[in-house]
Structures are given as C-alpha cells and as structure tokens.
Structure 1
C-alpha cells in the first residue's frame, strides 16, 4: 500500500510529539480508517471508539514507526489490531434474519431484543477510491450484505479478507499485521471467501444501481416514501419483489415474501403508526431514507434493489442512528 502525500517535516514533528503535525499526518486517512473499523465491527459507534483508540495507540507508538513500510499500512495495522481486540471482547453483530425464522403475519407486540448486538447502518459519505489492486470497491465493501457476511467470520478471517481484498495488502503484510504466518493467512482467506460467497449476492448493489441509473433510482425511492406517506398499499407493492424481506432491528421479528410483508405493511406502517415524512439519504453505499414518524426520528431504512424493484427493506429503528448522518431528531423544516 502506498501512502497519501505526507510532508517529511510533519512526520518528524509528529514523531517528536507535535499534536498539530500528527493531525496533519493522519487527517487524510481518518475517513478510510473509520470505514475499515465499521467493516470489522458492524457499528458506526463502535467504529468511532475503535478509530479513536487506534489513533491514540498510533500517537503513542509513532516514535517507534521505523518507516520500513508505508505509514498508511502501519496505521491500518494499528486499527486492525484495535478492532480485533474489540471483536474478541464483544463478539459479532447480527440482523434479524440471522437470529430466527421469518414471521408469516404482523407481530403487534414485538419487543426490542437487547440480547443481540445488532448491525447498524453506515453513513458512507465521501468514501475513498478503491486501491488499484483491491477486489472490492469501497462502497461495495460497506454494503449491508457484505458487512453482515463478515460478521459470520472469526476476527482473524475478517481482518485477512478486508486487508487483502478491500485494501490490497499482500499475504506477508497481513501476516505481520495480525501476528501470524503467511500460511495461516492463506488458509484464513480461503475459509473467509467460501463463507462470504455463500452469503453475498453475485451482483453487488453498486452494479445494480449503475444499471438502474440515477433517475429511475430516485423514482423508486420517491415511490417508496410516497406510498408510506399516503398509506398506499398498491403503490408500495408495485415496488417490491415477490420474495421481498422486511426487518426492523432491534425488533427480532422479520417478514419474508409478498404476502407476509403486505400483512405487516397494511396492519402497521401503512395504517396504524401515524404520519410519515422521509428524507432521502445514502447508507452503506445503498439507497436509503431517513424516516420521521409524527415529526420525530424513527429509522434509517436501507433499501436493497434487484433490478428495478426492492428486494430487501431494513429499517434500523432508533433516533440514535440519525446523528451520524447529520440529521436532526425532529423532521427538518424542508425534508425534501
């Protein structure tokens, strides 16, 4: 991995303890380091903590950076080891589809489950370009299907896959980063690829969205939002695939298939919840909307498309998801 441009004088000052110089050195890399922590941990807030912890470790250890590799590689090594500590302490995150069977009918008294560490949405913002030797684009690498699949991997396999296929590390660099052998890295990559291939669709959302085009994508997102706001069942159903799924972490129940999703939609969000307002956003490199119910933050809902229709709806319930997207807790004056 090559470095972004670093002024040698700043690196010298940073190594001698200059706070401002350190911030100039690491500043251009913070966004991508944060995304890496999210991929490892599945939570924006855990990524915040891990990034801060990693930068603190880097600050304390920078004097020992010998410059044998790139500064970028060294920082990713520090961040990866920080995340591996968090994975060991906290385990993996999940979506409702990972923890129980789908429900055939709407569940009216669904209660949030706090026994599960739930996957969260990610405000993708201005993600950096993919490395030339990386298999995954940066936006592909934060798509929900990919991040959810990573959660099924042990920490070392998760780290190896990300470092190799997203960040373009060599097997030898990965071995040094996670303190293992090259043979162990090769084995970890083989196992990780097999598991991810089982769980991630062959066609990424980035490929689907490029084929769909911006204009049609806006129509789908607008149509979804308008159908909820009007209570328009038929309008919603025309946008969905026959095998659509709808889940709402931290609620454990979820729905699969047009009949179950229709029953849920008719009985709850389309009829009995209240007044909806929507703000289009992007999350995890995918189409998404911030949903306000009766003027208050309700969910960040991420849409997965197949062709021109919605194949998966994941509504991440909770006002705490809005701040990372730069959104207020009450509906903006002009939500459009």
Structure 2
C-alpha cells in the first residue's frame, strides 16, 4: 500500500493543478491539503488500476469543484474596467477577488520531462490562469485534465462522472472561450539572451530610478497594475507620470529576483522595507506588463524572499536559477485540440504609489 511519503512525492503536481483550478496559491494549498487527507483515508480503496498521481488528481479535481461551488471568480484589474489615469483614486477590492501568483518551484513537478515542463509552466502564467477563471468549473476541469495533463476523454469523463460526449462538448466550448481571449503567452523553455539582457537593464534602470530609460524597455501598450487596487495604467506616458509622481517613493528601491507563475519576478524593497512582488510579463524582447502585488506579508514568506532589504542583486542570478528545457523548445498551445491542431509600484497613498 502507498505510504504518506508516496503521496507527498506528488504534491507539486497537485499544487499546480489546484492553482490552475482556483487561481490562488493559498486556495491551492488548502485544496492539496484536503486532497491528501481524503487520499490517506481512502488508500485502502486504491486499486492501482491507474497511477497514484492520476488517482490523486481525480481527488484533487473533486476537491476543487466542491470549493468552487460557492466562490466568486478571481480576476485581474484589467478585467474590471478600462485603464485609469494617474489622478484616479485608489480603491481596493477584497483579497479573495484577485488572481494571485505562485512560486514556480511549488507548482512544477521535478519529474516532468522537458517538454511537459514547458507546457506546465505555460499553464500557470497569470494571463492563462485568469482566462481559465472565465470557464465554468467543470469546463475548466475538463480542459485542464485533457489539454494540460493529456488525459483521454474517457478518463476525464470518469473523473467528472459524466459521459465522453459531454466531455467532448465541454472541451469544445472551453477551447472556443479561451480562443476568444486572443493569443495567450506561450511557455518559453528558457529566457532568450535578449530577454536576459532585458531583465538586467530593468533591474539597473529601476534601481537607478531612470524612468525615461525604463519605459523604453516596455511595449508601447504595456500595462501596470497593483492588486489589491482596482486601478491599472496603460502606455509609456501614464506609467512614467505615475512613477515620477505618486510612485516616487519607490526611488531607491532594490530588487531581488525570483520566479512567479512561470514568469520572471522580483521582490521589491523600498528604502524602508518590503513593498511588492513584481511579476513581469514579457513579449519578445520587451516588457508587456508589470504586475505589483502589494501583499508582502503573505507573498514574501511564500516566495522565500528575505524580510529585510538585502544587498544589491542582479537579474543574472534570476536567469541562472531558472530551470531550462535542454532542447530550447516551446511547448504546445493549451486550449487547442491536440489532435490538430503592469505596472511600476503604484503604492498606497503617500507611499510608493
């Protein structure tokens, strides 16, 4: 019979699956813990007709569906309303409404093969996880089991206690819905040389607080957001005005590299201490979005970021620490039929915002 240690070996895979379902690292942790409890109690009924991970994933899927029955959809600021201006008031929404980032290391199983790892990394990116939340929970589960984990329709149907025809219909609707969001970020196996250099320049210009140079690292339509605030900004002029105006207290900040939701990220420390987890979304060799998550009390311990402002660090250490695909390839697109187919830390008033 499987042991507790055997169950624990699958924690990262389950965490990634539950994160995609729930849109929150904290909710994913809760779902995985409940999965482990149910699995331990039900080990006697595990008949080994499927792998232990498959069995656990079935349990985790049902746990998530139960939890989602009375939850509101999590979202990103850009989904609430159009872009704001630097003069707009800062209003907050409850923490439970926002898509939250997750550390790569806790959501990506170490035993995944290189191409599988690329696909799994793509599937925890903020834009994709946000798009998933627009699907009804059972459609979401069907899509993730079939298109991310590669399960056959019959196995998905068994997990969801429905027919293969119903699963295929749900997949068709889910794929069409995701397609309506346009091109979602692809999962690059590793940073390109140009992207590594871009991160170096981002750190250097931000720590020097050379905003003119920093905005030239951004796409023209780049966005800046800062959950839990509703406000988000778009474009060089608005971002520059924010950082040189209400965000001026971020001058003198230091950045510590990490990885969050499949993307390069940084713990930002103002001179007075921790300020934000900054998750960058790249498009080509420019930055498309800067996401400043301000709940440092929760996020910094989760990401293993130091509680105090550290010495200067460079983005090179971030690119060096990232697990890479030895083949340098991109994974397949999620939400397609496999058969054929921002933000600079706008702070709370009178702070770095």
- TM class, shorter-length: 0.7 to 0.9
Q: CA deviation at 1:122?
A: 1.0
Give, in whole Å, the separation in 2 of the partners of 1:115 and 1:317: 11
Q: Could you state the TM-score of these two structures normalised by the residue count of structure 2?
A: 0.82
Which aligned pairs between 1:1-336 and structure 2 lie closer than 5 A?
Answer: 11=1, 14=2, 22-103=3-84, 105-107=85-87, 109-114=89-94, 117-125=97-105, 127-128=108-109, 137-199=119-181, 201=183, 204-206=186-188, 210=191, 212-213=192-193, 216-269=194-247, 271-319=248-296, 320-332=298-310, 335=313
Report Cα offsets for 1:115-152 as digits up to 9, x if no partner: 86101111002723657997971111111111111011
Paired residues in the alignment total: 311
Which residues of structure 1 form unaligned runs of 5+?
A: 1-10, 15-21
The answer to whether the 8 Å contact 1:237/1:262 transfers is yes
Q: Could you say what the CA RMSD is over the residues aligned between the two structures, in angstroms?
A: 2.3
**More divergent stretch after superposition (86-95 vs 112-121):** 112-121
Give, in whole Å, the separation in 1 of the partners of 2:233 and 2:210: 19
Q: Provide closer, same or farther for how the CA distance between residues 74 and 41 of structure 1 changes in structure 2, counting only shifts above 3 A.
A: same
Report Cα offsets for 1:74-116 as digits up to 9, x if no partner: 100000000111111223210001111111x214641322286
Give, in whole Å, the separation in 1 of the partners of 2:12 and 2:95: 31
Give, in whole Å, the separation in 2 of the partners of 1:117 and 1:64: 37
The answer to whether the 8 Å contact 1:149/1:200 transfers is no
SS of 1:313's partner is strand
**More divergent stretch after superposition (233-242 vs 218-227):** 218-227
Greater helix proportion: 1
Q: Could you state the TM-score of these two structures normalised by the residue count of structure 1?
A: 0.86
Give, in whole Å, the separation in 2 of the partners of 1:106 and 1:57: 49
Which residues of structure 2 form unaligned runs of 5+?
A: 315-353
Report Cα offsets for 1:213-233 as digits up to 9, x if no partner: 3xx333222322232222211
Q: Provide closer, same or farther for how the CA distance between residues 273 and 332 of structure 1 changes in structure 2, counting only shifts above 3 A.
A: closer
| Greater RCO structure (CA 8 Å; 6+ sep) | 2
Give, in whole Å, the separation in 2 of the partners of 1:159 and 1:45: 19
Q: CA deviation at 1:69?
A: 2.0
The answer to whether the 8 Å contact 2:24/2:100 transfers is yes
